[in-house]
Amino acid sequence: MTKPPLTLYLAAPRGFCAGVDRAIKIVEMALQKWGPPVYVRHEIVHNKYVVDDLRAKGAVFVEELDECPDDRPVIFSAHGVPKAVPAEAARREMLFVDATCPLVSKVHIEAARHHENGLQMIMIGHAGHPETVGTMGQLPEGEVLLVETVEDVASVRVRDPERLAFVTQTTLSVDDTADIVRALQARFPAIVGPHKEDICYATTNRQEAVKAMAPLADAMLVVGAPNSSNSKRLVEVGARAGCGYAQLVQRADDIDWRALDGISSIGVTAGASAPEVLINEVIDAFRAKYSVTVEMVETAVENVEFKVPRVLRVPA
């Protein structure tokens, strides 16, 4: 039987970012250096495939430090941790390595600097996301107010409207965040913040590629995990950019073929924590059913790389 033709638009950039790549390498180095088990506080990056692979090599994933023994190394995930976490690890004289993405650490430093200058902080982010928890946890309790939506801006109660600054989660929707920043600036004209926001290059680039790809395709799949903020934003961006069907899939098994019945084109991208092997698995699943022609939709070329320490050092 001849297969129906299908144009598969492949977004570029897609998938792994420099922060995710670095965090995974840090866990692998720790396993080599200290041998298993190495503990990792929270999923090192939000992807089940990556976590399962590291678990098979001897990593043990926990949610809190009190689940780790004193005498085994522990790694903090790419999302960052509240200040109290390394402080507690130091108090317990544990071996710990911080795999926080440097772009998240940059936001932590910004928040601390504004606090030292006497400004109250507003964080634009998602409640409960580990990155938001980590960034808010850089300052004493109550010093960072969270806003998630434009509506929240109207009700947020600040100490002094003249002494305010904002930071953002790195993996938000660029467009939604711009709206929230505008609302903050309208209500608090003296608020200070980064030049645009703290959304990272990888999040921005993946959303731009989706905006270019979504109007071309009958349907769009984002390879990523349901707890991955940047992956979920890609689905929203795709739907808003005009794609009638945009879905998150963790891997090929999740594809709802009935929903795709009758399509002649599909867009494929992946969140920053999804490895290329899963993207290829999805493409192969389409090749099994269709005669696929792949067309790249490239909106940026990335050459960002974060140094992985040659030797894992433990903070003094």
Interface pick for ligand SF4 out of 94, 136, 260, 272 (rule CB under 6 A):
272
Does 100 interact with ligand SF4 (rule: CB under 6 A)? no
Q: Which two tokens stand for residue 265?
A: 């084109």
Question: Looking at beta carbons only, is 40 or 260 nearer to ligand SF4?
Answer: 40
Distance set, CA 36 to CA 55, 74, 97, 162, 207 (Å): 10, 11, 15, 52, 37
Does 267 interact with ligand SF4 (rule: CB under 6 A)? no
Does 50 interact with ligand SF4 (rule: CB under 6 A)? no
Q: With CB under 6 A as the contact rule, which of the stretches 99-107, 108-116, 175-183, 216-224 interacts with ligand SF4?
A: 99-107
Residues between 107 and 166 with contacts to ligand SF4, criterion CB under 6 A: none
Residues between 19 and 38 with contacts to ligand SF4, criterion CB under 6 A: 19-20
Q: How far is CA 151 from the centre of its chain?
A: 24
Q: Considering only CA atoms, which of 251, 303, 229 is closest in space to residue 79? A: 229
Q: Where are the alpha helices (DSSP H) in 60-149?
A: 84-91, 102-116, 130-136
Task: State in angstroms the smallest separation of the CB of 199 from ligand SF4.
Answer: 8
Task: State in angstroms the smallest separation of the CB of 20 from ligand SF4.
Answer: 5
Site string for ligand SF4, 52-91 (x = CB under 6 A): --------------------------x-------------
Does 213 interact with ligand SF4 (rule: CB under 6 A)? no
Supply the residues annotated as catalytic: 131
Q: Which residue is nearest to ligand SF4 (CB)?
A: 19
Does 203 interact with ligand SF4 (rule: CB under 6 A)? yes
CA distance 79 to 233: 16
Does 99 interact with ligand SF4 (rule: CB under 6 A)? no
User: Could you tell me which residues come within 8 angstroms of residue 295 by beta carbon, excluding any fewer than 6 positions away?
Assistant: 7, 8, 9, 10
Question: Looking at beta carbons only, is 31 or 101 nearer to ligand SF4?
Answer: 101
CA distance 271 to 78: 14
Task: State in angstroms the smallest separation of the CB of 295 from ligand SF4.
Answer: 26
228: how many CB neighbours lie within 10 A of its CB?
Answer: 24
Q: Considering only CA atoms, which of 211, 208, 152, 145 is closest in space to residue 180? A: 152
Contact 223, 251 (CB under 8 A): yes
User: Could you tell me which residues come within 8 angstroms of residue 45 by beta carbon, excluding any fewer than 6 positions away?
Assistant: 20, 23, 24, 51, 77, 78, 273
Question: Looking at beta carbons only, is 138 or 203 nearer to ligand SF4?
Answer: 203
Which positions touch ligand SF4 (CB under 6 A)? 17-20, 78, 101, 103-104, 170-171, 200, 202-203, 230, 272
